[in-house]
Chains A and B, each alone.
Chain A
């Protein structure tokens, strides 16, 4: 099982290398409400400015966005593909428009999605070093020594990142290679998702004649782009409020240490409006976007909104509601989402982090007055986050709804070391499986 994972992830890494050599790669954010596609061109490694400072682009100058397109998503619910034909068409639409803008054919795509019940696991292991020095193979050995929990059949490991190394009693090492010590231990964060969701996405992308060069969780990548560097270092939670899901990721020391997903989002708010007012979903979305809010004031009672309708009944189509009523419909749902997020953060032990910054991003975070409501529910330090600036990104794609697409481009340019980037020590592998067999035998007899 682990070997399969190794093989497939390695194959994707290799594909990514190929894409980097060719210099063009597409970024695909498959969301519940929109599908965003960016075409990136890699032109050499990012260089620092002449004076050695990191510059206004935060060092992200290795690539350039040459094509960008979005289309309304279809066949995606809760961040998972439910109607493959529809999703395939939507991906084709977005990709064709982005290719046309970039004026180049793209063969490799890196995708992210948010749903599929992500679950985080913390793994750790400790090994005695053969020699005194920590080498690449020793790291591979300690990573391989991690005891993988039973994460259930039909689930796949999406990310497995070593977040902390400890050498003897010195903890908090980012890169222990070349250092001397007796025993090396590692803490690893592993994220599993439903295997079928990944397979559906892979199938969809294959049907568009594309090669999948990488896959990521959108909670992770939106955290990369929406959190600034010190927030990632000191500890922060990124809450990506999408259409169908609200993803939560917690960062600490520039590594993601927890990710989860609430299966509620902006589409549910729209659905509530649609149900309460008896209007089509398109009208409800429009009303939400232009007049929505979560904090009613006295003036909102007098602000009447024409809600429209297409039934043909003149009286029915010309109703209007006050903005206060609209807020009364929206607010409970937004509160429910935020309460759910609060629960997830509590489960993850977010209270114990040294800094408890919370960053709201995603398309649904643009509701007026959301930061006030969120600070009441989630804690005092809440801000609205927008994605990092990258070269060539069109103005229309700089909104908070694009933080996972931008984050995925950053991820494509600077991927983090994952478990499968280190070699499995060949001599250990049969020994471990033998040991496991003995363990199974002992447990069952």
Chain B
């Protein structure tokens, strides 16, 4: 016979029989098993009558609506992201609203910053300058006033480099912090190629015409060629080409004069001048030198050679030479008759 009731009643098994030959009497206490009667006699525990259960499984209308509302994707997103965001924002605002807390936080951050920056690994102890002469190194140390040791976080290397590059004798510079706490400054100095004499004084220029230094006297740099005239520093490359072309003249060269900010005059000793054209001055000078080679033109008593118009080179002789020429042309008289 199959019982229908049996399904409702839990069937319980003991681990060991309580009374028999091999019964373990101790297990009854230690295992925590409490033998309960399968059917309680107080009427509870059978057929689901033990508690006042809710018979209706249906959700109430409000419960149903709330659940549907909570399952709406927008609301779920809002609860997952929007609410934490709002809470974080509110907490942040409340914290920042108090000035004392704000200051404490900024102070705290600054303290941590300083403690990291002032570690010995980040300190720069000395500056090394390579590629500069003694005077220039002195100047660099003057324009970059740093009192070592200083933290490398406080060094603005790009700004230091700009300051050093701003010095006249410096063509280019690189500044970096070398391992070992050394501020390495590599400088490329400008090389003076000409001496420029102006009304204000004498100065040295490099090949681009940039000012390098002031000379008190021309005699300090006799090895450099001399240029003069207003606007000459803008055409140093042309001047250098002319000097190179005029090398055969040797010691007779005195210098170049810029005339009218437009063209060059080559000045020789004895007050001789070669007036060069605005365009292609080197070719004009070569023509003069070629004539000089053949006829020793400049050795003669010539005041100036005017090459300004290429089709019509002109010679101007000195007073004495002119008189001498007249005398030769007119050997009998004094030239008056």
| A residues neighboring B (CB under 8 Å) | 71, 89-90, 92-93, 96, 99-100, 103-105, 208-209, 283, 286-287, 291, 303-308, 310, 320
Contacts and interface: CB of A to CB of B under 8 A. Distances in A.
A306 B68 CA distance: 45
B3 A306 contact: yes
B231 to A, nearest CB: 81
A287 B2 CA distance: 11
B38 interface: no
Contact of B71 (A92, A99, A305): A99
Contact of A99 (B1, B2, B5, B67): B67
A99 B71 CA distance: 8
Given A92-B58, A93-B58, A104 B64 contact: no
Interface residues of B, number: 19
A96 B64 contact: yes
B57 A71 contact: yes
A291 B2 CA distance: 10
Chain B CB within 10 Å — which of A90, A105, A283, A303 has the most? A105
Contacts of B69: 105
User: Would you call the interface of chain A mostly helix, strand, loop, or mixed?
Assistant: mixed
A96 B5 CA distance: 33
B73 interface: yes
Nearest to A320: B1
Contact of A93 (B1, B47, B57, B65): B57
B4 A283 contact: yes
B68 A304 contact: no
Contact of B4 (A71, A104, A306): A306
Contacts of B72: 105
Contacts of B68: 96, 99, 105, 209
B59 A93 contact: yes
A315 B278 CA distance: 142
B5 A104 contact: no
Interface of B: 1-5, 47, 56-59, 61, 64-65, 67-69, 71-73
Contact of A209 (B1, B5, B57, B65): B65
Contacts of A303: 2
A304 B4 CA distance: 11
Contact of A305 (B4, B56, B57, B73): B4
Nearest to A323: B2
A306 B67 contact: no
Given A71-B57, A103-B71, A310-B47, A92 B64 contact: yes
Contacts of B3: 306
A384 to B, nearest CB: 26
Contacts of A308: 4-5
A300 to B, nearest CB: 13
A320 B5 CA distance: 12
Contacts of B56: 89
24 contacts: A92-B58, A92-B59, A92-B61, A92-B64, A93-B58, A93-B59, A96-B59, A96-B68, A99-B71, A103-B71, A104-B73, A208-B64, A209-B64, A209-B68, A287-B4, A291-B2, A304-B1, A304-B2, A305-B1, A305-B4, A306-B3, A306-B5, A307-B4, A310-B47
Contacts of B57: 71, 93
Contacts of A105: 68-69, 71-73
Contacts of B4: 283, 286-287, 305-308
A366 to B, nearest CB: 19
A368 B32 CA distance: 46
The 6 closest A-B pairs by CB, nearest first: A89-B58, A105-B71, A306-B4, A304-B1, A308-B4, A93-B58
